[in-house]
Chains A and B, each alone.
Chain A
Amino acid sequence: MAGKERESALKLENISLSFGGVKAISNISFEVLKGEVCAVIGPNGAGKSSMLNVINGIYLPQEGTITFQGISRKKVKTRDAAIQGIARTFQNIGLFKGMTVLDNLLCGRNLQMKSTFFEQAFWFGRPRKEELYHREKVEEIIKFLQLETIRYTGVSSLPYGMQKRVELGRALASEPKMLLLDEPMAGMNLEEKLDLSCYMLEVNREFGTTIVLIEHDMGVVMDISDHVIVMDYGRKIGDGTPAEIMNNQEVMDAYLGVAH
């Protein structure tokens, strides 16, 4: 996808985040282009998840600005991020365990629903039409991710890989411009990883969704991403195409380990 559109989707400038005396992210800047698959890699505790949390407003950075779709902000609220079109999945699955796959996906449509609480409670006016519309959108995602067999299955009884897929589906349901995926393939077997990689690439191609993912499986990262950002101890130590990153000495050191 890289090279096709050079428009910037997300720009982070001089972001710093600390918790008390612990500096989680120090002075990081990078840019993600529209339609890109961008992987953030780095050892445990490098600040990758914190970075995603900064992008969609879960953590508020002490310094720096975030520019998404041309709008620059010092502080982002999670709700604003969602309204702007940033959806995410979590490292530990964040689905509603007691609900079915279908209901979980419908929750992802929440922001698009216009009818009020009272209208919904009394099933009066808009809700009926609206629900049919949203159900159809959700069914498209069910078809896309091949979740037909488990539509009415409670998510808690699904295998881990399937839950991850449902979580991706819920993020997609909000029709995001950008997807933030926090270790989408952790704990998956090879087959599940292959499946999910295919789905991610298809989302990227079919809907033009920009994807930022954190991933530890280097095979996956090198295969599917257009752009790789490497972090270590809260700093950015590499930024480039997969090929450039593979030849970066500092990255090799961070992964193979040298005395700090």
Chain B
Amino acid sequence: MQTGSAVETQTFPKLLLRNASQYSSKSANRIKDLGIWHNTSWQQQLEQVRAFACGLAAKGVVRGQNVAVIGNNIPRLYWAVSAAQCLGCVPVPIHADARGKELSAILQETDIHIAVAQDQQQVDALLAVKESCPGLKEIVFLSNRGMGEYDRQHLLSYRDIQQLGSQFDADHPGFFDEVVNTIKADDPAIILYTSGATGPARGVVLSHQNLISTASSVANQEGLSSQDEILAFLPLAWASNILFTYAISMVTGCCLNCPESSDTIFNDMREIGPTFLFAPPHIYKYLVTMINTRIDSSRALDNVIFHYFSNVAIRVGNKRTEGKSASLVERLQLLIGQVLVFEPLKNVYGLSKVRVALTGGHPISPDVFGFFRTIGMDLRQTYGLTEASACVTIQPKDHVKQNTVGKPIAGMEYKLDGDGQVLIRGAGVMQGYYNNGHVSADALDSEGWLSSGDLGLVADNSLRIVDRQNDVGMLDNEQHFYPSRIESRLKSSAYIHEAIVFGDRRDAVVAFITIDRDAVSVWADSNNVRYTGYASLAANESVNALIKAQVSKVNDELAKVAEVKNPRISRFLILHRQLDEQSGELTHTRKLRREVIYKEYAPLIEALYSAQKTASFTDNNDQHDYILCRL
């Protein structure tokens, strides 16, 4: 780590130049294409970025303009982000599957003239909204596939731009270095859109200094260096992704790896062996479910061995969190378990080399969290929000507690206001929302404290996030309940994929559940339950009984938790399909859009509060029947 005292004056373009000279031939990027990993060194990356930046300049892009970058994790898109920053422009990453109103709203608000798109899908989405975005003049695409018959009037390939750029660079030597030198640390570096789970998506303007100081603090604290390997597999436009892949790689000089496709992530992970991993809870949950399903359907002996050593590890883990030390026999057992079971298991999923594993974004369920710590992975929780460069606190290594999110990273601080809301101040806090002065003023007070909208508690010197302030509900009997707490408990179950609870101004808490198709299918197969697909599983009585048992287990757990009291779930139903992004029920980062779900399924919620035993509901002209389970 060479950043040290210079962090305050660093910019991403300067970091790129530094990395190119310091780590010139070391890998900066790697992507698997046609079955082979292709390396790009820092020196080559600089050349690529330089050519693209000059190409943009040749196309008339000038300092201060915004450049949209749409797609998945591909080095060339990260280079486009970097190139825009080198010109003093502000990149606006947009989710690969954004379209229609969502896309045009962002393009209009940020007044995009030029957009860099991954492939035909994104180009089509852009062309579809072009009419409503008169500012959009040029679209640059990366992949030629399917683009043969398009009208090339406003379309340019990535290579075209780079060729223009090389020419421009030759004609204007010194242009690139000159521009790079004029960029200051508090210039805007990126506009990241919030997920829009609780309201309209807002463009958060982060400066070079915001992101670089946050990334430096994380890197220093966690000991990340140029030798680390990161796999970028989260949505490109998610603030956490920009921080934990792009910014960390720029700050430390480590290698950013991009998977072959979004379906091959775990295979690619095994080949790369990342040493630093940040993933939202649902990825960890997916891994646990996959492992458990495979263990359950394995030979009896494997099953016994796995569970025996898991229990040993849980016992030792519990002792350690209580501050006691494990006995010699237990330590020996754990060692054998690690050699026989846990290390091979981690190896299968490419987790063997992970030194630092973090999670954040939403609350992680206790069982999933416990599982990874059990198998010897140092998984820790973080807390952050887009407005604060995606990372405010991290659990310190020696103080990992189930429900906390730890202590602030260097340069950040927090406090609680009178209502218990978490307020944040520090180097990572945004400059404001893009073109939204009054909203920014609401969020940021005169002393620089940012209102997070999250309810927190401080216990044992650590921050604990209770829930989103707006989501906290109150039952008729004035008892408060905290939906995401209950939901994350429900999602602990391997059989439950997604859960959403209701109960505000009602007499009881009720829940919608979606089942984990893979886990429930395996269960159904071994229990002689006949089914055809997801909907038939969801409507099956045995499956409902299975889920009922899971829910009542959660009710028992809820009763035991002392600090954050929650009422029990009194009824639930299993939805006939998964919640998805296309219908707006989930955000791109898989957060629940409660308002949308309330509205869409209002009749079903009413049914849960009635005395009915079954209900039916029409979705897309198909009628579905539900069993209303009472606990």
Give the interface of A toward B (CB within 8 A). 135-136, 139-140, 142-144, 146, 148-149, 151, 202, 205-206
Task: Check B148–A139 contact: CB distance below 8 A.
Answer: no
Task: Check B146–A148 contact: CB distance below 8 A.
Answer: no
B146 CB contact (under 8 Å) in A135, A136, A205: A205
A146 CB contact (under 8 Å) in B33, B148, B261, B267: B261
Is B263 in the interface zone, CB < 8 Å from A?
yes
Task: Check A135–B35 contact: CB distance below 8 A.
Answer: yes
Task: Check B35–A206 contact: CB distance below 8 A.
Answer: no
Task: Check A139–B35 contact: CB distance below 8 A.
Answer: yes
Number of A-B residue pairs, CB cutoff 8 Å, is: 31
Q: Which of chain B's residues has its CB closest to A144's CB?
A: B145
Task: Check A140–B148 contact: CB distance below 8 A.
Answer: no
- Give the distance in Å from the alpha carbon of A205 to the alpha carbon of B33 in the complex: 23
Task: Check A149–B146 contact: CB distance below 8 A.
Answer: no
A205 CB contact (under 8 Å) in B36, B148, B261: B148
Expressed in whole angstroms, the minimum distance between the Cβ of A258 and any Cβ of chain B is 35
Known: A139-B34, A143-B34, A151-B35. A206 touches B148 (CB 8 A): yes
Interface code B234-260, partner A: CB below 8 Å = 1, 0 otherwise? 000000000000000000000000001
Is B149 in the interface zone, CB < 8 Å from A?
yes
Is B264 in the interface zone, CB < 8 Å from A?
yes
Task: Check B149–A148 contact: CB distance below 8 A.
Answer: no
Task: Check A149–B263 contact: CB distance below 8 A.
Answer: yes
CB-CB contacts below 8 Å: B29-76 with A: 33-36
User: Which residues of the other chain, A, contact B260 by a CB distance below 8 angstroms?
Assistant: 148
Task: Check B263–A148 contact: CB distance below 8 A.
Answer: yes
Q: Which of chain B's residues has its CB closest to A137's CB?
A: B34
Expressed in whole angstroms, the minimum distance between the Cβ of B32 and any Cβ of chain A is 8
Known: A139-B35, A140-B34, A142-B35. A202 touches B146 (CB 8 A): yes
Give the interface of B toward A (CB within 8 A). 33-36, 145-146, 148-149, 260-261, 263-264, 267
Task: Check A149–B34 contact: CB distance below 8 A.
Answer: no
- Give the distance in Å from the alpha carbon of A146 to the alpha carbon of B261 in the complex: 9
Known: A135-B35, A142-B35, A143-B34. A148 touches B261 (CB 8 A): yes
Task: Check B264–A149 contact: CB distance below 8 A.
Answer: yes
User: Which residues of the other chain, A, contact B146 by a CB distance below 8 angstroms?
Assistant: 202, 205-206
Task: Check A149–B267 contact: CB distance below 8 A.
Answer: yes
- Give the distance in Å from the alpha carbon of A105 to the alpha carbon of B409 in the complex: 52
Expressed in whole angstroms, the minimum distance between the Cβ of B236 and any Cβ of chain A is 19
Q: Which of chain A's residues has its CB closest to B145's CB?
A: A206
Inter-chain pairs besides A135-B35, A143-B34, A149-B261, 7 sampled, C-beta below 8 Å: A136-B34, A139-B36, A140-B34, A142-B34, A148-B260, A148-B264, A205-B148
Expressed in whole angstroms, the minimum distance between the Cβ of B276 and any Cβ of chain A is 24
Q: Could you name 23 residue pairs across A and B whose Cβ atoms are closer than 8 Å?
A: A135-B35, A139-B34, A139-B35, A139-B36, A140-B34, A142-B34, A142-B35, A143-B33, A144-B145, A146-B261, A146-B263, A148-B35, A148-B261, A148-B263, A148-B264, A149-B263, A149-B264, A151-B35, A202-B145, A202-B146, A205-B146, A206-B146, A206-B148
User: Which residues of the other chain, B, contact A139 by a CB distance below 8 angstroms?
Assistant: 34-36
User: Which residues of the other chain, A, contact B267 by a CB distance below 8 angstroms?
Assistant: 149
- Give the distance in Å from the alpha carbon of A148 to the alpha carbon of B260 in the complex: 8
- Give the distance in Å from the alpha carbon of A149 to the alpha carbon of B260 in the complex: 9
Expressed in whole angstroms, the minimum distance between the Cβ of B118 and any Cβ of chain A is 14
Among B35, B145, B148, B260, residue most surrounded by chain A Cβ atoms (within 10 Å): B35
User: Which residues of the other chain, B, contact A142 by a CB distance below 8 angstroms?
Assistant: 34-35
Q: Which of chain A's residues has its CB closest to B265's CB?
A: A149
Among A142, A143, A146, A202, residue most surrounded by chain B Cβ atoms (within 10 Å): A143
- Give the distance in Å from the alpha carbon of A136 to the alpha carbon of B38 in the complex: 14
User: Which residues of the other chain, A, contact B264 by a CB distance below 8 angstroms?
Assistant: 148-149
- Give the distance in Å from the alpha carbon of A91 to the alpha carbon of B145 in the complex: 29
Expressed in whole angstroms, the minimum distance between the Cβ of B446 and any Cβ of chain A is 53
- Give the distance in Å from the alpha carbon of A29 to the alpha carbon of B33 in the complex: 45
